[in-house]
Structures are given as C-alpha cells and as structure tokens.
Amino acid sequence: MTRKSGVPQAIGAVPLGGAVPGEGAPGTTQSRLVLGFDHDAASQTALATAVDLAGRLQAWLTVVHVIDLPDYPANLDAPDWAEYARATLADERHLAEQALRDHPHGWSYEAWYGPRAATLIRVAEAQDALMVIVGRHGHGVGDGLHRLLDGSVSRHLAARCPRPVLVVSLS
C-alpha cells in the first residue's frame, strides 16, 4: 500500500481470531487499548503488560506494528529480500497471536506504514482508545542510534498524544 500525503496507510489491518462474537467488536462502547509492538524485548514486556491490563479492564486490545527498517534485511540486493521481510512480519504477528490467544475480550493485530508515534496516535484516536501502551527501549549503542535517527516513540507520545500513555520498562 502506498502513503498519501504522509498519512499512515494500513496493511493487513484486520481483526484476527481473538474477537469474541457479539462482544467488544469495533464500534461498541467496550474500552479499548492500543499497543505499539515491534521485534524487541521491550515490546515483548509491553505486550505481556497490555494483555494483563486488557484482561483486568475487560478491554479490546489492538496490537499495532509500524513497519520500519528492522523488518527488512540490510542488503537490499539480497535475492530473498521480500521473503525475509514477509517472514519477519509473520514472526512478529505470530508472537502477538500467541500472547493473545486466550484473551477473552477481543483483540486485533494491525500492521501500518508511517511514522511510528503519529501512527499510534492516529489509531488510538480512531478507536477512541482508553490509552496507548509502548515499551521503553534500552540505552545501548544500537538503541541510541535508533533514537537519534527516528526519535523516541515513548517521548513523542508522552508529549503529543491526547490519550494517556503507559510506558513499560524492560526490567
């Protein structure tokens, strides 16, 4: 899918098997949580926290993955470039599905292209989410370089998101 005017575009943004028929479907008054999810350990911790919180609140949980460079191999000329990207995205989706398989209040997994923080804000606003949940990434060299290039999603959300933001620490 293409980006138009800088607006995040969805791919595969469809609810998956966790939906409970007749309950919590999109458009109802059930509380909703939005989780920003990616490949790293901080996101895994945030996912576990979000599933627990959604259970306690009897809330629908939308897991949002914003597709970015780590989802693709570094060598753009590699013959299996597209397959690597598909496999990486499928693995991330599978991790979320496994964590949510027993969540009784409904859930969905969405993959988007676009700026990460802005995309999470857009999804949270569209769903009238109670809050946005993200993991707090570490302070290693790789994390520092990533923040330098892309900025801190949690800081951007805390400063600009009109919804409450829960930042989950790795430890």
pLDDT tens digit sequence for 12-29: 444 333 443 334 455 567
Q: What is the DSSP annotation of the chain?
A: ---BTTB-EEEEEE--TT-BTTBS-TTSSS-EEEEE--SSHHHHHHHHHHHHHHHHHT-EEEEEEEE-GGGS-S-TT-TTHHHHHHHHHHHHHHHHHHHHTT-TT-EEEEEEES-HHHHHHHHHHHTT-SEEEEEEP--SHHHHHHHHHH--HHHHHHHH-SS-EEEEE--
- Which is more confidently placed, 24 or 162? 162
pLDDT tens digit sequence for 29-39: 789 999 999 88
Q: How confident is the model at residue 69 (pLDDT cuts 50, 70, 90)?
A: confident
pLDDT tens digit sequence for 85-119: 888 889 999 999 999 999 999 999 999 988 999 99
What mean pLDDT value characterizes the chain?
A: 80
Kindly list the structural domains of the chain, giving each domain's residue range(s) and its CATH number in brackets, ordered by start. 48-169 (3.40.50.620)
pLDDT more than 90, % of the chain:
48
